[in-house]
Structure 1
Amino acid sequence: MQRKQLRTLFLLGVMIAVTCSALAYSDGKIKIPVIQPVKMTPVKVKAGQGIVTLSGNMVQNKVVYNGNGEVGLELTMTAADVSPVIAANGGKVDMVLVLDRSGSMQGDKINDARRAMLDLIDRMTEGDRLGIVSYANNAGVDFPLQNMTPANRERMKMAVSQIEAGGGTNLGEGLQLGLSLLERAVRSGNQNRLVLISDGLANQGITDPSELGRIAGRGATAERVTSTVGVGNDFNEILMTSLADHGTGKYYYLEDPGAFAAVFLEEFKRVVATVASGLEVKVPVTDGVRLVSAGGYPVTTSDGMAS
């Protein structure tokens, strides 16, 4: 045992001596290799001469040597000012409200949601169409997508007033049913919007945020935009933001369920102000370059162009 300890001490002594000799030989300086970043010239591009213009630039102008090779491209899309006549004549909407009526929505949440939906029904014009879906353990159509005639308004109000909370949260089925309502509808030329109202505590059916996000993404590919409204202090923020991101819509957090009406009206005004739709951005990619992510938007590459 003592011999092993002596051998260990001897080896340590040799290593220290070698290190000291190396330091003495190099004037006591240890040279650490410096990895120089690969410099890139910032590039700015601008395209489009019509009502919408697109500009872009690289987020960074250096790439670390032997790194993952990823860089960010920032694109900014700008719409020109349009006359009130254009905005007024366009902007009609086909909107489906998807309401969570599970047990966690009981009390003030469901009551405030119903009042806000009734307010929205009163404010929509006859050129708009509205449908209502609600879900708990299962999803159902409370009112199909219909024009806002005086008779339909009253029927919609009756349907909303009869929605009661109770049961589990099959959010995935509610989302799919709402999107299918828009998909099956006879084309009207209106903008397609789905507004999902929930605490996001999905516990039945599809519950994986990634899979639910893909469902919303497939709707966005067909120009059916999904926006979400998170309700309560215990809502699933990851899920609700993922749905809005993949659905290319807007995410809202409402600590006060009484603000539902304001949220609906803001969403509606955003639709009325739409001046262009069905836009596609194409980015040229040369050999060795690929577009790996587009902020939740689906990416396809063909003939040297990523879109």
Structure 2
Amino acid sequence: MGNQCTGVDDFQGQQFAPNISVQDEVFVEGRVPIVGQNPSRFNDDDMITVYQSNNNKLNYGRNSLGQGYMTAMKYNLKDNISIQASSHTLMNQQNAALMITIKSNDILLINQRGQECVRQGVDLVCLIDHSGSMQGEKIKLVRKTLKQMLTFLQPCDRLCLIMFDCKVYRLTRLMRVTQENVQKFRVAISSLQARGGTDIGNGMKMALSILKHRKYKNPVSAIFLLSDGVDEGAEERVRDDLIQYNIRDSFTIKTFGFGRDCCPKIMSEIAHYKEGQFYFVPNLTNIDECFAEALGGLVSVVANHVQLSVQPMHSNKVQIKKAYGDKWTYDSWKGVFTLYQPHLLSGVRKDYIFEVADYKTSGKQEIRVLLQADPVEGGDKVTIEQIIELQNSDLSNEVLPNYYRVKGAECFEQARIYAEQGQYQASQQILNNINTEIKLQNFNDPNLQVVQTDLEMASNFCYPGQFENEGRHHMHQLHIVHMYQKSRGVQINQNQQGQVISLDCQYQNNLQKQYKDQTRQTKQNDPNYWNDC
């Protein structure tokens, strides 16, 4: 589990025939694939497929998004993204809560109206821990999960598999998921065996190198990191490598921690660097559903390099005192709060919360909201700007529930810090106080009810032993889930009344739910599902 690996250049894997050409690759059942490992040759990725709407034929070789990549996509950002602002005075305070709401129309509903929406291609790098602690059921479940993932990917997608223990080894190039290559991927997946230590840092270094040096680029890119172990200081090395590689293409990182032995701090921080998600998977038989949900998010991306700016029009009337979430930056000269996100998904709603000084003036109180994004199918950057007067709106009754959502998210973080210092009673008090405050408001909001259930669960974890076993893992995840309205994977919670509640659908879009439901249905219908490992 601990990092007993040496050498920052281990990811080069020179002992594994580094100069093997594409033509000389070997994929044989029962053996680890023989694939080139030289990082200077990580530009050996497959050519991508380009959809041409004028003749409906597939062509190959486009290497940039500036060439009208996949122009058949009909998701017009200006037509399908809406911006709203609402505010509500806070009880017993001189402040008000401001909510900026971004909604994107569901691509599935657009398809149902008869429009042609071609799914964009994904470049996915899967980084798989096969250290000794993964032996037994863990590695078997991972192998099955990866094979199940192949059923969702299409020939327009490309996949690279990397395994790591103390060393890092590229199992496959970044290859298109064609029928021919699926068999190669299955051979590579079947070769995964548990052994060695855990070197997350160098594994991530190779994954970043793959994205940096690829010759062609699909519109959507991501790294999936799967691990059950600890690699002390890995998050700092990954942060430094992200700066060093300076990859300008939009991509995200999603991390999957298996069981109690994974380090939630490392996994959550690595994901958060690129505005991704940390999935804590205590029940390993749910890993495939978490993977399916994450993949559903990738294939529903409609915009890259998304930047949201919020600015009061008249600072003497509207003064923003606080933005909730640690990803906002503030330009004091311009008075602008800015948030960057690598991707925007279709069919989602994001509610961003601010505290503003509640001045009771007779004049207008206006907010300038600016959203800039690159359409995933290519073309010029799209700018959506609105000047919104703060007044009662259709969303006014939703401001306070969302305000308490982010307040609760903050409390998960604060309580975790106290519990890590052994102050369990103080951590329980933080969680119980905010939960009591929410209950007194008598909200009838289903999402906020889930936050309350999570607060109860987290409080029950704030005891010696229980916190170390699972509590800190959940609280790392819940802070990000509720602060940024991110999907949570599969998680079954038990409230204080002993009722078992499934919380897996919160913040999902329809594609994520569809992928997860399909995986769940496949397991239920196939008694031999887990035998194909």
Q: Which has the larger radius of gyration?
A: 1
Counterparts of residues 85-100 of structure 1 (less than 5 Å)? 88-100=117-129
Would the alpha carbon gap of residues 210 and 51 (structure 1) be closer, same or farther in structure 2, given more than 3 Å must change? farther
Corresponding residue to 2:213 among 174, 177, 184 = 184
Q: Establish whether residue 274 from structure 1 lines up as the match of residue 301 from structure 2.
A: yes
**Cα 1:187–1:50, aligned 2, differ >3 Å: closer, same or farther?**
farther
> 1: distance between equivalents of 2:239 and 2:303?
24
Question: CA 1:275/1:184 → structure 2, altered by over 3 Å: closer, same or farther?
Answer: same
1:145 aligns with 174
In structure 2, do the counterparts of structure 1 residues 161 and 49 end up closer, same or farther at CA, with 3 Å as the change threshold?
A: closer
Structure 1: gaps (5+ residues) = 1-47, 66-70
TM-score, structure 2 as length reference: 0.41
CA pair 296-211 structure 1, distance change in 2 beyond 3 A? farther
Aligned to 1:156: 185
What SS is found at the alignment partner of 2:305? coil
CA shift at 1:291, angstroms? 10
SS in 1 for 2:182: helix
**1:97 alignment partner, SS class:** strand
Identity %: 21
Relative distance call for 1:295 and 1:146 in structure 2 (3 A) is farther
User: 8 Å contact 1:291–1:299 — kept in the other structure?
Assistant: no
- Structure 1 position 99, deviation (Å): 0.6
Which deviates more, 95-104 or 254-263? 254-263
The CA deviation string for residues 205-249 of structure 1, in whole angstroms up to 9 with x for no partner, is x43x45545656887974111011110122212222222222212
How many Å apart are 1:145 and its aligned residue? 0.7
Contact 1:135–1:171 (CA under 8 A) maintained in structure 2: yes
CA distance in 1, matches of 2:116, 2:293: 16
Q: Distance in 2 between matches of 1:189 and 1:52?
A: 23
Pairing partner for 1:240 from 267, 274, 281: 267
Offset of 1:261 from its aligned partner? 1.9
Please state how far the C-alpha of 1:268 moved relative to its aligned partner. Answer: 1.6
Residue 61 of structure 1, CA deviation: 6.5
Cα deviation, residue 282, structure 1: 2.5
Distance verdict in 2 for CA 1:219–1:97, change over 3 Å: farther
Secondary structure at 2:222's aligned position in 1?
Answer: strand
Higher relative contact order (CA 8 A, sep 6+): 2
Distance in 2, Cα, partners of 1:282 & 1:244: 23
- Which amino acid is the alignment partner of residue 138 of structure 1? K
Q: Map 1:101-140 to 2 at 5 A.
A: 101-140=130-169
1:146 Cα deviation after fit: 0.8
Is this contact kept in 1: 2:254–2:276, CA < 8 A?
yes
Root-mean-square deviation (CA, aligned residues, Å) is: 3.7
CA distance in 2, matches of 1:245, 1:87: 34
Name stretches of at least 5 consecutive residues in structure 2 with no aligned partner. 1-76, 339-533
